[in-house]
Chains A and B, each alone.
Chain A
């Protein structure tokens, strides 16, 4: 019988622990497929975050390190400086990357560290039970913003792609979403491109993926996808924020 679809060999057979309908799983698959398709399976080293993706080291079928909360870009820096020919990536949530780990991500990007960062923005702290994240939308209710995020009290969400794209060194920064098939396909393209930049030695690449947390948003998976589209995308516009290849070509 002809095989029409095969699970990527870059994912192990360990069952994912993510909640039903959570889009972390889709993003794992896109990352894994991209690495495999680029022929980088034998030289991939991943860094897992602290957050719902903490067990990513059980799922990606390659060498992995587990970093402290927010420190993945620094750990990846150490790995990449030793293993210059390897393809090194971090997979981080928004609490991990945009709150406790802001220094590490900004400086890894500013150095043009030749790594790829997969930034999963679900606007909430999933693992610890739905507290406010730096990316929580104004007015959004979480367990630590029970009356809705009050911007006069705790400010506004951080647009990481916008912020990092002001830096000179990064090669590729793009924001994508996985709320429908079309966007999943587009996300795959961006993730693959990000890894390609690293393989070509072009330096830092980051893909921000808007993602759902049905459990802590208090919605069923379908409503969560609709909520993402209706509420997150207006605040976090999709698209490319930095492309040094294009910048160079237009000069």
Chain B
């Protein structure tokens, strides 16, 4: 199939449909409105269901019900709406219901701005809602990757029976790029005999009133998370072999860093990039390996936030090298030239 020009939000929506998603529950919020709007047009044509919920709270609980009934189901929102979904996400994680949640992040806190940001990293990767749980969090760096990761997200969700998040930002959602959405995608088939489809005695539930029982459930979840860390961690490296300065950035910011790296290299500064693709599980191995190399002098984390992923970078680097930070926040986007100048000052 040939490449077509897609807006990020629409590409994510179509990728979900091609991955077998037939239920979508959402609520309008900028900058992700093209997802529910696309689903409203497309779902009836593929025999699926689009329903505009009365709130993000309701939407995520509809997802719980549909996912608990075994369907491939998705919801999408942006930061303030994703905050509202946290209760439901915690229940979904606890009840081990597969589903996909898209967050096209905008500036916060509060109502914030409608411009792109990466300030929901903590919320996405450190739990977000209450309790001992994780989501797999994919951070696409472009539209094609958004397509590929969205399709993969449904498989990951089914495979591990858990919620999976696509953490984009307003830029990924709004920009247009050529991408190919495979139409012959074969979803993995998992046993869903646990799903409530009538005629059984199955229970979708996250309540374990006996603490020893809940502890056992939590320890089992931790085992699952350890397996995911081993099997599902994804990252990309750019010009890191001889690099003295290693950038850490994901999503939109990683693209900006690549431009800055090219400018630095033209000036003879050996810079490279480690780009986490899964934010949880965080790819600590490449950072630890780079930190152990003599040639590596420093790390520089670049984010559209006041510094959130940098905590995971520092943990991975383990104090062996300095980790500097450059960030813009509130919906401001760092320019390659600014990153370049900041990198020069760090290396001076």
Verify B199–A83 contact, CB threshold 8 A. Answer: no
Question: Is B95 part of the contact surface with A, judged by Cβ < 8 Å?
Answer: yes
The complex places the Cα of A83 from the Cα of B67 at a distance, in Å, of 11
Nearest chain B CB to A108's CB is how many angstroms away?
9
The complex places the Cα of A192 from the Cα of B203 at a distance, in Å, of 24
Verify A83–B196 contact, CB threshold 8 A. Answer: yes
The complex places the Cα of A71 from the Cα of B53 at a distance, in Å, of 12
- Between A and B, how many residue pairs show CB distances below 8 Å? 127
Digitize B55-79: 1 where CB-to-A-CB distance is under 8 Å, 0 elsewhere.
1011101111111111101000000
Verify A75–B198 contact, CB threshold 8 A. Answer: no
Question: Is B268 part of the contact surface with A, judged by Cβ < 8 Å?
Answer: no
Nearest chain B CB to A128's CB is how many angstroms away?
14
Question: Is B201 part of the contact surface with A, judged by Cβ < 8 Å?
Answer: yes
* A67-93 residues at the B interface, CB under 8 angstroms: 67-68, 71, 74-83, 85-87
Verify B200–A75 contact, CB threshold 8 A. Answer: no
| B interface residues, how many (CB within 8 angstroms) | 38
Nearest chain A CB to B245's CB is how many angstroms away?
47
Verify B66–A78 contact, CB threshold 8 A. Answer: yes
Given A75-B62, A81-B49, are A64 and B203 neighbors across the interface (CB < 8 Å)? yes
Question: Is B81 part of the contact surface with A, judged by Cβ < 8 Å?
Answer: no
* B160-187 residues at the A interface, CB under 8 angstroms: none
The complex places the Cα of A44 from the Cα of B207 at a distance, in Å, of 21
Question: Is B202 part of the contact surface with A, judged by Cβ < 8 Å?
Answer: yes
A103 contacts which of B51, B57, B95 (Cβ < 8 Å)? B57
Verify A65–B68 contact, CB threshold 8 A. Answer: yes
- Which residues does chain A contribute within 8 Å of B58, judged by CB atoms? 71, 74, 77, 103-104, 107
- Which residues does chain B contribute within 8 Å of A228, judged by CB atoms? none
Which B-chain residue is minimally distant from A42 (CB atoms)?
B199
Question: Is A54 part of the contact surface with B, judged by Cβ < 8 Å?
Answer: yes
- Which residues does chain A contribute within 8 Å of B91, judged by CB atoms? 67-68
Given A47-B65, A63-B197, A67-B64, are A82 and B204 neighbors across the interface (CB < 8 Å)? no
Question: Is B121 part of the contact surface with A, judged by Cβ < 8 Å?
Answer: no
- Which residues does chain B contribute within 8 Å of A42, judged by CB atoms? 198-199
Question: Is B206 part of the contact surface with A, judged by Cβ < 8 Å?
Answer: yes
Question: Is A62 part of the contact surface with B, judged by Cβ < 8 Å?
Answer: yes
* A2-59 residues at the B interface, CB under 8 angstroms: 42-45, 47, 54, 57
- Which residues does chain A contribute within 8 Å of B51, judged by CB atoms? 77, 81
Nearest chain B CB to A36's CB is how many angstroms away?
14
The complex places the Cα of A104 from the Cα of B88 at a distance, in Å, of 13
The complex places the Cα of A80 from the Cα of B49 at a distance, in Å, of 11
B203 contacts which of A43, A57, A81, A103 (Cβ < 8 Å)? A57
Question: Is A66 part of the contact surface with B, judged by Cβ < 8 Å?
Answer: yes
Verify A65–B65 contact, CB threshold 8 A. Answer: yes
The complex places the Cα of A75 from the Cα of B95 at a distance, in Å, of 13
Verify A65–B203 contact, CB threshold 8 A. Answer: yes
Verify A78–B61 contact, CB threshold 8 A. Answer: yes
Looking at chain B's contact residues, the main secondary structure is mixed
- Which residues does chain A contribute within 8 Å of B207, judged by CB atoms? 54, 66
Digitize B199-239: 1 where CB-to-A-CB distance is under 8 Å, 0 elsewhere.
11111111100000000000000000000000000000000
Verify A64–B204 contact, CB threshold 8 A. Answer: yes
Nearest chain B CB to A46's CB is how many angstroms away?
9
- Which residues does chain B contribute within 8 Å of A212, judged by CB atoms? none
Given A78-B25, A81-B49, are A63 and B64 neighbors across the interface (CB < 8 Å)? no
Question: Is A116 part of the contact surface with B, judged by Cβ < 8 Å?
Answer: no
- Which residues does chain B contribute within 8 Å of A47, judged by CB atoms? 65
The complex places the Cα of A71 from the Cα of B59 at a distance, in Å, of 10
Question: Is A165 part of the contact surface with B, judged by Cβ < 8 Å?
Answer: no
- Which residues does chain B contribute within 8 Å of A45, judged by CB atoms? 69, 196-198
Nearest chain B CB to A63's CB is how many angstroms away?
4
Verify A107–B196 contact, CB threshold 8 A. Answer: no
Question: Is B54 part of the contact surface with A, judged by Cβ < 8 Å?
Answer: yes
The complex places the Cα of A78 from the Cα of B99 at a distance, in Å, of 12
Verify B95–A66 contact, CB threshold 8 A. Answer: yes
Question: Is A61 part of the contact surface with B, judged by Cβ < 8 Å?
Answer: yes
The complex places the Cα of A79 from the Cα of B67 at a distance, in Å, of 8
- Which residues does chain A contribute within 8 Å of B241, judged by CB atoms? none
Digitize A215-234: 1 where CB-to-B-CB distance is under 8 Å, 0 elsewhere.
00000000000000000000
- Which residues does chain A contribute within 8 Å of B201, judged by CB atoms? 61-63
The complex places the Cα of A231 from the Cα of B208 at a distance, in Å, of 37
Given A78-B25, A78-B69, A82-B70, are A44 and B198 neighbors across the interface (CB < 8 Å)? yes
- Which residues does chain B contribute within 8 Å of A68, judged by CB atoms? 61, 87-88, 91
Q: Please, could you name 17 A-B residue pairs with CB atoms under 8 Å apart, sorted by A?
A: A62-B199, A63-B201, A63-B203, A64-B196, A65-B204, A66-B95, A67-B91, A71-B57, A71-B58, A74-B64, A75-B61, A82-B65, A83-B196, A83-B197, A86-B198, A103-B57, A104-B54
Q: A-contacting residues of B (Cβ < 8 Å)?
A: 23, 25, 49, 51, 53-55, 57-59, 61-71, 73, 87-88, 91, 95, 196-207
5 nearest CB pairs, A to B: A78-B65, A74-B61, A63-B196, A78-B66, A78-B62
Q: B-contacting residues of A (Cβ < 8 Å)?
A: 42-45, 47, 54, 57, 61-68, 71, 74-83, 85-87, 103-104, 106-107
